[in-house]
Amino acid sequence: MLLVCTPRKLSNYLVSKLKRQQVEKAARYSVVQSATSEYNVVHNNASQRKKWARVVFTVRIEDDGSRYSFECGMYEHFGILCCHAIKLLIHTSVTRIPEAYIMKRWTRAARDFVYLDDISSGPVSSQLSQNLLLVNALEVVRTVNRDSQASDILARHLSNARKEIDCL
């Protein structure tokens, strides 16, 4: 069974690697239903594990499968589903990861642009302010590369900006 992470796709290589590791680890577990919407995910080689290692994890299905409750806390810590949750999703024939567990920060859509007007209101650190200005400047430069008339406009405004800043 393949779990699909759509419509968004993970962009960060390390996040993809972590997710892949969790899917591989899920094969080491089996699922036992303990209550109506509560499952115990048990390690296949529980007897061979170290005494301090946990071998049973409880996963609860909430809100008719749109939310899950995990004991290990990996999702709360990293924002990535743990192998126990993935094993339960496979066991219950869920083909798509619920939207609640696709965090925006791990997707390609995570980069939100904050435009120049947004940095002038409220207290902003100088480093953040500089980063926002650089992002906006790069967007303008990309646009200018496509149009020679835009290049003239940018050169004129940069010259005026330099003069105005020098007068401060």
Pull the structure tokens for residue 120.
């002038």
Last residue of a domain, one of 61, 90, 109: 109
User: Are residues 93 and 22 located together in one domain of the fold?
Assistant: yes
Domain count, the chain: 2
Confirm whether 82 is domain-assigned: yes
Last residue of a domain, one of 93, 109, 125: 109
Which residues, other chains included, contact 39 with Cβ-Cβ below 8 Å and sequence gap of 6+? 31, 32, 33, 58, 59, 60, 61, 88, 91
User: Are residues 56 and 125 located together in one domain of the fold?
Assistant: no
Q: What is the pTM of this model?
A: 0.54
Give the chain's residues under pLDDT 70.
1-14, 105-125
User: Are residues 142 and 67 located together in one domain of the fold?
Assistant: no
Confirm whether 7 is domain-assigned: no
Last residue of a domain, one of 60, 90, 109: 109
User: Are residues 97 and 60 located together in one domain of the fold?
Assistant: yes
pLDDT of residue 123: 55
List, for residues 147-166, the tens digit of each pLDDT value.
888 888 888 888 898 888 88
pLDDT of residue 137: 84
Dihedral of CA 138/143/147/152: which sign?
Answer: negative
Distance CA 97, CA 3 (A): 6
The boundaries of the domain holding residue 18 are 13-109
